Amino acid sequence: MDEAPEREGRPPAQGEGLRLQGWTYDQIQVELGCSKSSISLWVRDLPKPEHKRSPEEASAIARRGREATLQRRDEERQHTKAVAKQAVGDLSDREVFLAGVVLYWAEGAKGKSYSRRERLHFINSDPNVISFFMRWLDVLGVERERLRFRVSIHESANTTDAEEFWARLVGVEPSTFQKATLKKHNPKTNRKNTSEAYRGCLIVYVLRSADLYRRMEGAWYGIVGGAARQPG
């Protein structure tokens, strides 16, 4: 929904003056950076100017108007993200633990009723997610010696660079990584992850983690139950 004119920081008189000079809605929008609905309110009682621009000029003006609108929306988007990020603040160990439980339940390997595998086994391609998972393991008191790492990556990518990247992220030597898992190329697949930023996924194994897995699973159902209880 477009904002009211007074919230855009542009006085209606300025828009009216441009309209009286023969400016179109597109031209006024580019000049003032405001919405067309606001312009319409400002100049609705003024005569409509004659169209004197060529189709090329009209197209260029419309394009600039769209660009101005997209820029304004992007600024609003970035502002909302920044405010939300700042509102989180520092997390306590308990908050990290609970958030990590939710993350693991969504992304980590889980045992099935037909295949009871109680161990922590996590895979993801997002460096921020891996960093948070490592922080979660710190809260759980897991020593680095109990961790094993493996890269899962497309066979056409640079495995060595990927292992070096992930090793720096988790603070170990690339030589400690297990042999990478290579994904076979499928000619029928139109892959999007072909840029230099593609580093595959990192798999993190936690040795002797049956008890930790049970704690994680129990905490997850505690979260579910706690969220379901009505206040009061």
Instruction: Share the mean pLDDT of the chain.
Output: 85
Q: pLDDT at position 21, please?
A: 74
Share of the chain above pLDDT 70, in %: 86
Q: HSE, CB side, 13 Å, CA atoms: give it for residue 52.
A: 7
Same domain, 71 and 102: no
Q: Looking at the structure, do residues 28 and 50 belong to the same domain, yes or no? A: yes
What domain range includes position 97?
Answer: 93-228
Same domain, 98 and 207: yes
Q: Is the pLDDT of residue 213 over 60?
A: yes
Q: What's the whole-number mean pLDDT along residues 104-131?
A: 90
Comparing 10 with 118, the larger pLDDT belongs to: 118
Indicate whether 138 pLDDT > 60.
yes
221 & 117 share domain: yes
Q: Which of 110, 97, 93 is nearest to 223 (CA)?
A: 97
Q: Are residues 26 and 123 in the same domain?
A: no
pLDDT value of residue 69? 86
Using pLDDT thresholds of 50, 70 and 90, give the confidence band for residue 174.
Answer: very high
Shared domain for 26 and 51, answered yes or no, is yes
**pLDDT over 90 for what percent of the chain?**
54
The count of structural domains within the chain is: 2
Total number of residues shown for the chain: 232
- Which residue, 88, 114, 145, sits at the end of a domain? 88
Judging by DSSP bridges, how do beta strands 201-206 and 121-124 pair with one another? antiparallel
Of 72, 88, 104, the one marking the end of a domain is 88
Looking at the structure, do residues 75 and 97 belong to the same domain, yes or no? no
pLDDT of residue 156: 86
Domain end call among 68, 88, 108: 88
For residues 78-89, average pLDDT = 94
pLDDT at 34: 81
